[in-house]
Amino acid sequence: MQRRLQDFTDDTGMTLPEPDLKFVDEALNLPLDEKEYTVDIESNLPWRVKTSAAWIDLLTSNGLKSGSFKMSVTKNTDVASREAEISAWIVEGAETKLKVVQEGIGIALKKRTLKVGAKGSEEEVIPFVTMVAYTYELSEGCDWIRITDGEPITPGVVNESELKLKIDPYKDVEDGRTAYLYLKGSNGVTDMLTITQDKKPLEDIDYLRMFYEGANGFGWGHDFMNSGSGYDRSYMVSRFGASFNFNLGEKKAWAVNVRPAIVYRMDGDRAQQLNVNKSKIEILAGVTYRFASSNGKHYMTIQKPYNQAEVNSLNETINALRAENARKDEALGAKDAENARLEKELTDLRNAPKQVETIIQNTHSKSLESVITFRQGKTTISTDQVPNVERIATYMKNNPKSTVSIKGYASPEGSAEVNARVAKQRAEAVKNMLISKYKISASRITAEGQGVGSMFSEPDWNRVSICTIED
């Protein structure tokens, strides 16, 4: 609430207009996103603004009369909304406050990752906080997860709730599996839980896994006979066998191969061709080493197809992060530009001369000017301006016939009556210092007020007393 002062005066005792200060808006209700805002103020005197809220950054903080200032807010990551105040004031007792409310995200998981073993889980509790109604859904192909709802919630207040998950066992020894649980608030905010389940640990039977295949067909046989024992013979054969491969170790790089077979001769009469008593038995055994392939494994694996819904969700998240980064870059660029502008203004003020002197010399006379500046509403000479007064005094002591004309000025704030009084008092302040401190005769000094000055383009620079010496 605005407080008004009656008989408003500054430290010199001057009567100024009664302050009239207020925010155009009674309150600001902001969304949760990071953003810049412009706030309007109505005032008849110079003002300043401040706030103690860390999430509000005042980009500009003052003005001369009615105008505006800029501020930025950070993103609210809390579930509940947050409040703060911005104070605008002229002097002690002449101030007003603006209430700022930023909405919260409304819903949030207390944990965003869940890892379970291959044996599954009868119950996994997923806690979350919400102020809004919600729904949830799993990514596609997640029939191995079942969800139980939490207790009903009351919208508008902070609710501590939970979801309960039952996860089936997993029998794959090759790779684990992943699912995503999306918790969606009625305000449009979505939070995501990533669920991963380990692959089945290898047991003894898994370290010695057998792969077998049949090997049947016809071929050509040949007997090599020693001399004296008979003649070499060629004939048709049929072969029936199997190939057994025993994989060793978790990596399955090594394997033991056993290939038994029975071989029949096909060149005799039909009764003898498939006679087991006329057949031959063979067994081939060996050891195999498989080199690692491009996927780093020593065996072939089946590539699992990707889930398009998960891909779409991840792309949406990436795009949202990119957009947020772009907004932050834009805000940072604006702040950099504002900093550059302020630095330029500061440099210009530092380089601006604190005194102005003009020397006009001819055969008859010489004149010297010196400027003494004052703070807003002040008629006393500050310590940093005393050298400009002493310069006048030194010249007059060295030139006893010289005289000085002092003219006081004011900036345009306030009424004409007040400005006239301030201007005269500033001229008198310089005169009094020359007399009391430097012992310059009053008869050599004239002092008068000139009201509002217009010598300088910046209104603040016209709060001066200009001393002109003539011989």
> Is the pTM above the cut of 0.85?
no
pLDDT at 71: 94
**268: Cβ contacts below 8 Å, ≥ 6 apart:** 278
Q: Higher confidence at residue 108 or residue 6? A: 108
Query: pLDDT digit string (tens) for 337-395?
Result: 888 888 887 777 767 655 544 444 443 444 578 899 988 778 899 988 999 999 999 99
Q: How far apart are CA 139 and CA 6, in angstroms?
A: 68
Tell me 320's DSSP state: H
- The chain-wide mean pLDDT, for the chain, equals 82
Which domains are seen in the chain, by residue range? Answer: 21-102 (2.60.40.10), 107-201 (2.60.40.10), 204-289 (2.20.200), 360-470 (3.30.1330.60)
Cβ atoms of residues 184 and 190 within 8 Å: yes
**Comparing C-alpha atoms, which of 114, 148, 152 is closest to residue 130?**
152
Query: pLDDT digit string (tens) for 136-158?
Result: 999 988 899 999 988 889 988 99
Task: Supply 28's token pair.
Answer: 């600001």
Q: How far apart are CA 155 and CA 134, in angstroms?
A: 10
- Token pair 């600001």 is found at 28
Q: Which amino acid is at 456?
A: F
Is the confidence at residue 281, as pLDDT, over 50? yes
Q: How far apart are CA 388 and CA 383, in angstroms?
A: 10
Q: How far apart are CA 385 and CA 301, in angstroms?
A: 86
